[in-house]
Amino acid sequence: MKQFMNGEVSAGQLCADFSDDVFEHKEKGELLKAMLLTATGHRFAGEEQLDAYITKITLKKNSRKGINSKTQLLLNRAMELKKGIEEDPDHNKFQEQFKIESHGHKDPITWVNFSVCNQFLGAISKDMTTLWRVFRNTAEKVMTLDANEDGVEDGSKPVICVSEGAQKIAVSRGNLKFTVY
């Protein structure tokens, strides 16, 4: 959890690490998974998991056997989270969302392009080009390329093209020049 909060591991990696033991806990594993999915931007999947948990515990509560106070506390927390999700006006905006922080770009990013194979994302600013590998709703920085001396020609849009598997990368910053890496 500390590595996730410090940005050392992605949300997907955290979920994978937790799936072995934390999410398998018989009383609170399902609720923790729903909370983590919701907190990391996977609202629909988190809400679906949360609904299943609430339904399961409510059926158990209404049965003859009932539930204990600890389970009641978890149910109350699940209901509070469900209420918070429903009150959020933007909860339908993005089904799967994640953020890529472009550390190192001094200027605004002016061009973003996916590779042909949809596995790589290139971002260009006046000072540098960054290539990201996109997989399982996360992104990993592959490389950073400094801009050449020419910079970006005024009025032109920079372009990046990435071959399948990122074997070749072509960057144009105007001036009818392509730099191939």
List the pLDDT tens digit at each of the 181 positions of the chain: 777 766 677 777 787 888 877 887 887 888 888 888 877 777 778 889 999 999 999 988 888 888 888 888 999 999 988 888 777 665 544 345 556 666 677 888 777 777 777 778 888 887 888 888 877 557 788 888 777 655 555 666 677 777 777 778 777 766 666 667 6
CB 135 within 8 A of CB 119: yes
Residue at 140 is within a domain:
yes
Residue at 80 is within a domain:
yes
Identify whether residues 62 and 136 lie together within a single domain. no
Identify whether residues 120 and 168 lie together within a single domain. yes
Residue at 74 is within a domain:
yes
Identify whether residues 37 and 113 lie together within a single domain. no
Give whole-number Cα distances, 85 to 69, 91, 96, in Å: 24, 7, 15
Characterize 110-120 residue by residue with b for buried, 16 or more Cβ atoms within 10 angstroms of its Cβ, and e for exposed: ebeeebeeebb
Identify whether residues 81 and 129 lie together within a single domain. no
Residue at 118 is within a domain:
yes
Number of structural domains in the chain: 2
CB 22 within 8 A of CB 32: yes
- Helix (H) or strand (E) holding 165, with range, is none
Helices 69-87 and 43-62, axial angle in degrees (round to 10): 140
Identify whether residues 54 and 124 lie together within a single domain. no
Residue at 97 is within a domain:
no
The pLDDT score that the predictor gives to residue 92 is 46
Residue at 92 is within a domain:
no
Residue at 73 is within a domain:
yes
Residue 44 DSSP label? H
Residue at 38 is within a domain:
yes
Q: Given 54, 87, 120, which residue is the final one in a domain?
A: 87
The domain of 117 spans 109-180
Identify whether residues 59 and 132 lie together within a single domain. no
Identify whether residues 9 and 82 lie together within a single domain. yes
- Counting beta carbons within 10 angstroms of the beta carbon of residue 134, is it exposed (0 to 12), middle (13 to 18) or buried (19 or more)? middle
